[in-house]
Every structure is written in C-alpha cells, then in structure tokens.
Amino acid sequence: MLEYGSKRILIVDDFTDFRSSLKSMLRDMGARDVDTADRGEEALSMCRNKRYDIILHDYNLGGGKNGQQVLEELIAGKLISHQCIFVMVTAESSQAMVLSALEHEPDAYLTKPFNRASLDQRLDKLVERKTALKGILQGLDKQDPAAVLEACKTLSQQDKRYLPLCQRYQATALRELGRLDELEQLLNGVLAERPLPWAQVALAGLMHKRGELSRAQSLYEKGLQLFPMMPALYDGLAAVLLAQGESQRAQQALEDAVKLAPLAIRRQMQLGKLALDNQDFDSAGKAYRQAMEQGRTSKFKSPENYLGLAQAITAQAGDGSLDKRLQIEVSQALGELDKIYAHDPNVQVRSRLALASSLNKSGEPKRAAQLAADAAAAMEKLPQLFAADTALSVASQLRALGQTAASDALLKSCVEVYGDDPQVMQGVARQTDNAEILSSGKEAVELNRQGVRCYQQKQFDEALRLFRQAFALQPKNISIALNTAQSLLQSASGEASAALLEECRRCLAVVSQMPETDARHARYLQLQRRASGQ
C-alpha cells in the first residue's frame, strides 16, 4: 500500500452514504485530506480553489453536470494538472460511457459497488502509472509537445508496458507540432499491429485534414465495421461526407452518433445546423432542443442553439401559420437567450429578428414590423461584424420582414468584408441582383489575387504594391487587410522601418471588428503581436 497521507482527495457523489463509506475507506488507507461534494458544479468550484491529487467522481449525479462534463471542463479550464488522478465511478457497465469519452478519458472506471481491496489496488496502480509518466505529464501541463515527445521516447524504451500509452501521447504531440508525416508513420505502425479505436480516428482525421477525402471516408467506414458503437467515428464520417457535399448522408451519420451518445451538446448543435441546411426542420428542431437543454448546465452553451430552434420551428410552418403552442416555445427560448446574452448586442439583434420572423407567421405582423425596425436601427452601431453565414441569414430575414434598405446595407458590407470568398458572393447573389452591390468589390479582389500570386513567387515589392492598391479600394475586406499587413511586415523586417509598421497597424485596426469565430482570427492575432513588436 502506498502513502496517501499527503494526497489531496476529492469525492463527488450525490449519495451521503456512499460519500461517507468511501471516505472511511480512504481514511483506512491513510488518507487525511479528503473533501466531498455532491454536485458537479460544486466540484468545479472546489477545483478552482485547491489542486487535488485524486478525484473520485460519480458519473451520474442525478442532476446538473455529469462526471464526463465535469472532467471536460476541468481539462478545458486547466483546473487540474495532467498528474491528477481522475477516477470515474459508475453505477453500471461503463461501456457506453467509455465509447463516448474518446477525447477526454478518465484514468480509470470503477463500478459500484466496490470493496476496499479494489479501491486500494486501483489507486496504487494509478499512482504508480502517474509517477512513471511524470515527465510526459509535466510536458502536457507546460503545453510543451517537444518535451512530451522526448519523455515518451525515454519511457517507452525503459518499460514496454508504457509503450501503448506513449504512442497516444506522441500522436497528439506530433499533430500539435504539425509533423504530419511522422504522425502518419506512427499511426500506420500502431494500426498494423492492432486495430485501436483512437488510432483509427486519428489516421482518418489526418487524411481529412490533408484533403484526401475518399481515403478518410473509407478509413472511417472500416473503423465503424470494427467498432460500430463509437460515436467519434460517426462524427468524423459526417465531417468527411459534408466536405464532399453529401449533406444528407452526413446528417444520417450524425443521427447515428446522437443515438449512441445523446449527451453531447456540440454534436447536437452540429446536427441541428446540418438538418436546417437540409431543410429537415423536424430533426433540426429536435437537435436544437436537446442542445439548448444540455447547454443550461454546460460551458459549451451557444446562442446558435436558441436561434436555430426558433428558425427551425418558424421554417417548419412553411407558408402556413405558426401554431400558438410553438410560438410560445419560440418566445420562451428567445427570452432565455436574451437573458443569458444580455451583454451581447449582436445576439440581441438576431434574437429580435428571429422573434419577428415567427410573429409574422402567427398573426402579429404589427409587432413583427416594430421588432424588425428596432433590429435594423440597432444594426447601425454593432461593435462586431457578423460572420459571413450569419450576415447572409440576417439579411434574408430583414428582407422577408420588409426592411429592404437594411438588408441591402448588410449585403453591401458583406461584399466589402468577405467579397474575396466565392461562396459568400454566391450567397449574396441569391438575395439580390443589384449590380451596385454585386460588382462593388471585383477590382480589389482581383488585385488581391494577383498580389497573393506575386507573394508566393517571392516578388515581395510587387505584391505589396498590389495589396496596397486593393486595400485602398476595399479597406474593409478582411483578407486584403491581413495580406497587406503581412506584406508590410515582410518588407519592414529588413531595416525595420517604423513607417511601414505604423501602416501595418493601421491595416490591422480596420479588421479589429472581425468575429472571433472567423477562421482567420488566429492569424490576425499573430500579425498583431508581430506588428506591435512582441
């Protein structure tokens, strides 16, 4: 038996009896510092104030967050070290839970009821393992993938028992370092030995990332033949199918995943969006309802679920009128949304428009018109730009509610900001044939395209000249501004010209309103750091 006197231990269970009997078992084992909690929320706040070495968490607490949600939030919020032992205590077979928890697995599952000997044996083993893995776990805590790789190499040569674990840590580290060829080699090696679920998912994901879609698809399908109950494989398959434009089959794959593991808010949200795009409003409504429900106890809640539900219900009524009961559901969902996101004016505008759209169908056109007018007025002073797809859907709502001028203005700004993206331009063209809007950015986009080509051919001076011209014509376009900024940094790096850096900062200031969900946001932040000399 190992020394537990110095360990900080937390028990989370909703049964008083169980907490006290587990606590007395731990005391018999020499533990002195044992705290208890009866809800996941309480456990999270305790972990904010104290670093625990061992957490024994019941999976199903009968309300609030479940064990898996707590574990995910502990990891996402860095509230526990990777060296902390997290044991999931379950009332029955853990298979279904295990299959759903591919991303953040607990260190062990312990099925109730268990005796003192089993607890002893399990904890001793986990302490031994965490001690052996210390170098790797410290690397993870420091977010230093290179150190993780180094530690893996040493440990797996020392003791072959840790090789399978090391390979998994290595795979994650290689992906983070962008060493994808080595990653592929590692995964192929692992899978040649044995079909391991995590490696199957990782290899398929890598193929998807590389754009080898049909290979990725067949890897996911092969994985599903071996492990038909693994939601992560369906998730991956859905993403690949969607990338290939097969949105119906993608939806089916996500529906399969949701059947296996309904408690996954992000999956439900994705399903809702996909079903909405597929005009399957019934399924969309179901998925968004689930996501909204689960979001109440989760850090992964999102305004999209409330807005999506309202949109699905309203769209389901078609050209007919909206049922009273459904109108109440929409109003309640949006009311809740307004309360949670009271500080977010972008959400407020979208909420008002969603409510107006539904009221328009339930015999209250006057209130609808008033709300639409309010929203149109509020739009003029929003602090942040809408993401492209949001902007398009808001513009279409405004148009349907008679706010044509506001809709046109939004489309115009959409072209200014996102005009280099052909998909966005197609979306705009579906809503208007106004040539003034549609052709406004063409020249700038063409200059930007030429600039990119020159930059790739390392003709930096010519590239900068083209980007500057494009920027002057279309100063709100995110791509053009970022390209100009990068090009200026490239030129400034030589003799560190202060004027060029100043110009670069002006370019970046223009795009500071870009939505944080934009894929280019990380690039923006990076350029900003470089421009300010950090």
Partner 1 sequence: MSDSPGGLDFSTVIASTVHDMKNSLAMLTRAHAQWQSQLPPEQQQASEQGVIEYEFARLNGMLVQLLGLYKLGVNQLPMRPGYHEVEDFLQAQLARHFEVLQSRQISARCEVESFDLMGFFDEELLGSVVANIITNSIRYAHSALLIRAWEEGGKLVLAICDDGQGYPQEMLSQQSNYVLGLKHSTGSTGLGLYFAGRIAELHERHGVHGHIELANGAPLGGGVFRIYLP
Residues that bind partner 1 (CB under 8 A): 17-18, 21, 91-96, 98-99, 112-118, 120-122, 125, 159-161, 163-164, 194-197, 226-230
Q: At what angle do helices 365-379 and 404-418 cross, to 10 degrees?
A: 40
Q: In the bound complex, what is the minimum distance in angstroms from residue 232's beta carbon to partner 1? A: 12
From 476, 499, 500, select the one nearest 486 (Cα to Cα).
Answer: 500
Nearer to partner 1, 18 or 460 (CB): 18
Distance, in Å, from the CA atom of 109 to the CA atom of 435, rounded to the nearest integer, reads 63
Nearer to partner 1, 59 or 471 (CB): 59
141 vs 82, 299, 517, CA distance in Å? Answer: 6, 22, 26
Q: In the bound complex, what is the minimum distance in angstroms from residue 534's beta carbon to partner 1? A: 44
Nearer to partner 1, 227 or 460 (CB): 227
Q: In the bound complex, what is the minimum distance in angstroms from residue 253's beta carbon to partner 1? A: 18
Nearer to partner 1, 36 or 100 (CB): 100
Nearer to partner 1, 71 or 199 (CB): 199
Q: Name the residue type at position 415.
A: V
Distance, in Å, from the CA atom of 232 to the CA atom of 5, rounded to the nearest integer, reads 40
- Helical (H) or strand (E) element with 65: none
Nearer to partner 1, 96 or 315 (CB): 96
Nearer to partner 1, 163 or 400 (CB): 163
Q: In the bound complex, what is the minimum distance in angstroms from residue 231's beta carbon to partner 1? A: 11
Q: Would you state the structure tokens that stand for residue 176, as one six-digit string? A: 């983070």
Q: In the bound complex, what is the minimum distance in angstroms from residue 172's beta carbon to partner 1? A: 17
Q: Around Cβ 508, how many Cβ atoms within 10 Å?
A: 23
Distance, in Å, from the CA atom of 478 to the CA atom of 521, rounded to the nearest integer, reads 10
Distance, in Å, from the CA atom of 429 to the CA atom of 451, rounded to the nearest integer, reads 26
Give me the residues paired with residue 35 across strands: 10
Q: In the bound complex, what is the minimum distance in angstroms from residue 112's beta carbon to partner 1? A: 7
Q: In the bound complex, what is the minimum distance in angstroms from residue 117's beta carbon to partner 1? A: 4
Q: Which residue intervals of 77-115 are DSSP H helices?
A: 95-100
Q: In the bound complex, what is the minimum distance in angstroms from residue 191's beta carbon to partner 1? A: 12
Q: In the bound complex, what is the minimum distance in angstroms from residue 269's beta carbon to partner 1? A: 25
Distance, in Å, from the CA atom of 118 to the CA atom of 57, rounded to the nearest integer, reads 16
Q: Is 251 helix (H, G, I), strand (E, B) or coil?
A: helix
Nearer to partner 1, 154 or 426 (CB): 154
Nearer to partner 1, 159 or 293 (CB): 159
Q: Around Cβ 365, how many Cβ atoms within 10 Å?
A: 14
Find where tokens 């044509």 sit: 404
Q: Would you state the structure tokens that stand for residue 452, as one six-digit string? A: 């990119």
Strands ordered across the beta sheet of 54-58? 33-37, 8-12, 54-58, 85-90, 108-111
Q: In the bound complex, what is the minimum distance in angstroms from residue 20's beta carbon to partner 1? A: 10
Torsion (CA) 509, 513, 519, 520 in degrees, nearest 10: -10
Nearer to partner 1, 62 or 228 (CB): 228
Q: In the bound complex, what is the minimum distance in angstroms from residue 102's beta carbon to partner 1? A: 10
277 vs 41, 240, 290, CA distance in Å? Answer: 35, 16, 18
Q: Around Cβ 93, how many Cβ atoms within 10 Å?
A: 10
Nearer to partner 1, 6 or 93 (CB): 93
Q: In the bound complex, what is the minimum distance in angstroms from residue 104's beta carbon to partner 1? A: 16
Q: In the bound complex, what is the minimum distance in angstroms from residue 118's beta carbon to partner 1? A: 4
Distance, in Å, from the CA atom of 36 to the CA atom of 466, rounded to the nearest integer, reads 64
Distance, in Å, from the CA atom of 413 to the CA atom of 407, rounded to the nearest integer, reads 10
What length does the chain have?
A: 534
Quickly list DSSP for 356-379: HHHHHHTT-HHHHHHHHHHHHHHH
Q: Would you state the structure tokens that stand for residue 398, as one six-digit string? A: 């405004």
Q: Around Cβ 429, how many Cβ atoms within 10 Å?
A: 13
Distance, in Å, from the CA atom of 72 to the CA atom of 257, rounded to the nearest integer, reads 19
Q: In the bound complex, what is the minimum distance in angstroms from residue 385's beta carbon to partner 1? A: 45
Nearer to partner 1, 209 or 259 (CB): 259
Parallel/antiparallel/unpaired status of strands 33-37 and 54-58: unpaired
Give yes or no for a contact between 386 and 431, defined as CB atoms under 8 angstroms apart.
no
Nearer to partner 1, 160 or 296 (CB): 160
Nearer to partner 1, 125 or 210 (CB): 125
